[in-house]
Amino acid sequence: MPLNIGCTARPGRGRDNKTGSWRVFYPIFSKEKCTGCGICSLICPEGCIERINEKEYIPDLDYCKGCGLCAEECPGEAIAMEKEEK
């Protein structure tokens, strides 16, 4: 795959650095509690939380480092962090 002219990149998609394997905890999103405010998506340092419906967000687990910021900031407590079985 040739290089992008000007060393450009799209957000959220590093060529090499799939950071998902760092995870110890992973986020579980509750559709019922979600208010659709979008703070989780904005706060995510990897930019890997995508909105798929008005009140439904999903993380890209290839990149989610399990930092838990989304769960910490979610005003509706709609995100829970759970230990991942590897």
The DSSP H or E segment spanning 28 is strand 25-29
Q: Does 1 bind another protein (CB under 8 A)?
A: no
**Which CB, 26 or 46, lies closer to another protein?**
46
The token pair at 24 is: 């110890």
Q: x/- string (CB under 8 A) for another protein, residues 27-66?
A: ----------------------------------------
Q: Does 7 bind another protein (CB under 8 A)?
A: yes
> Can you tell me the distance from the alpha carbon of 77 to that of 26, in angstroms, rounded to the nearest whole number?
15
Name 79's bridge partners: 29
